Chain A
Amino acid sequence: MTVILSRLGEFNVNDEPTGELWLEPEQAAVASGWELRPEGFCRGDICVPVPLNKAEILIADGKVNLSAFWNHMGMPAATSIDGDVWALGEGAESRAVELQSLDAPDFTLPDLAGVQHSLSDYHGKKILLATWASW
């Protein structure tokens, strides 16, 4: 069992921990948002063709190598020593584009009672999004 941490949440996938993240395409899509389609790896309207010289690195035996894809895209990732936990992050550039669009990025977080709140639940109000900490 391997755990993937991404902007979409926490996912358990049936992958034997190795140095790479070989997954069923459906699992990869659920955990990362990147879906394998005839035109390549796609997320929303964005598609990235699979380069011919990397086809075997990225796709083999009906599985996709999500860690190699992340690397190919220059997106940040970190993994545990045993390779059983992967944090797949967003690239700095796409984060910059998103921030400079001035559309407030949505998120969902729990309150103390465990109730989930999304920023978008409060759409239509002025929102002061303020951080603090007990430390």
Chain B
Amino acid sequence: MWQKLYDEIKKQNFIIIAIAMDSEACAARPWIEAAELDYPALIDRDHRVAELYNMVNVPQAVWIDESGIIVRPAENAGAYEGFRAMDLETWTMPEDELATTVNAQTTYFSAVRDWARLGVDCGHLYSAAQAKDRTAVPSKETALAHCHFHLGQYLLRNGRKAEAQEHLAKASRLHPTSWNIWRQAAEKNETGLNNDAAFWNRVKSLGGDYYYPPVDIAGMPK
């Protein structure tokens, strides 16, 4: 997803660090190899980065400046939820939604390009006060959810699947807004429930809430 953009900006003292929220490296491997990435693609089976940066879905991104300061806290990395208008019989999307989806990614990438080229003058960086304001902080339940997730992933790796499933499910109950946790928990679900159907039902139950919240960059869809 990021390689083409990275090719354009890597000479500008810029690095992309991609974090795969996959429980097993083998799930991410074909994607990483096919893309022939030349930036680090790391595997975060325990969702450590999601915990540290309070992330709940993919793709999300954090902008970090040269001195290690967060200049845009975790946010949707340019995705648009046009997919919610997909016709599940024909797997087609209305043309306007498709166009908006493409435009959202183009606009976001172009903001990243501006940042690479212009640095602080790009107009997309938050002041410290703005960045603090926009930083979502975890609740007690979210912090506990990450413990259960970490434990669940460990048990899963050690062949204790049934027990693992309980902790992953508990993590998802404690942190219901995390799609990252829900996806990993659902992936291991052996109740016979079709995961795609479960996903679409869960998306539907969002109602008027966002799956990909709008990004505060000029030109991004609301």
Contacts and interface: CB of A to CB of B under 8 A. Distances in A.
A30 interface: no
A122 B67 CA distance: 10
Contact of B17 (A78, A89, A105, A122): A122
A131 B61 contact: yes
B135 A100 contact: yes
Contacts of B30: 134
B143 A95 contact: yes
Given A92-B142, A130-B77, A109 B48 contact: yes
A92 B54 CA distance: 10
A104 B131 CA distance: 12
Interface residues of A, number: 48
A38 B144 CA distance: 30
B65 to A, nearest CB: 6
A21 to B, nearest CB: 14
Contacts of A88: 147
A99 B155 contact: no
Contacts of A95: 51-52, 54, 137-138, 143
B218 to A, nearest CB: 19
A96 B128 CA distance: 15
Chain A interface, >50% SS class: mixed
B104 interface: no
Given A104-B64, A126-B13, A130-B77, A92 B143 contact: yes
B206 interface: no
A89 B144 contact: yes
Contacts of A119: 17, 64, 68
A120 B66 CA distance: 11
B16 A130 contact: yes
B27 A125 contact: no
Contacts of A5: 46, 150-151, 154
A61 interface: no
Interface stretch (B35-43, B94-102, B207-215): B35-43
A117 interface: yes
Interface string B123-138: 0000010011001011
B15 interface: yes
A111 interface: yes
Interface in A90-131: 90-92, 95-96, 99-100, 102-105, 107, 109-112, 117, 119-120, 122-131
Contacts of A85: 151, 154-155
Contacts of A132: 1, 18-21, 58-59
A112 B25 contact: yes
B167 to A, nearest CB: 6
Interface of A: 3, 5, 10, 75-81, 85-92, 95-96, 99-100, 102-105, 107, 109-112, 117, 119-120, 122-135
Interface of B: 1-2, 12-22, 25, 27-33, 40-44, 46, 48-55, 58-70, 73, 77, 112, 115-116, 119, 128, 131-132, 135, 137-140, 142-144, 146-148, 150-151, 154-155, 160, 163, 167, 170, 180, 183-184, 187
Given A89-B150, A126-B115, A128-B15, 9 more contacts: A87-B154, A88-B147, A89-B146, A90-B51, A127-B15, A130-B16, A131-B59, A132-B21, A134-B31
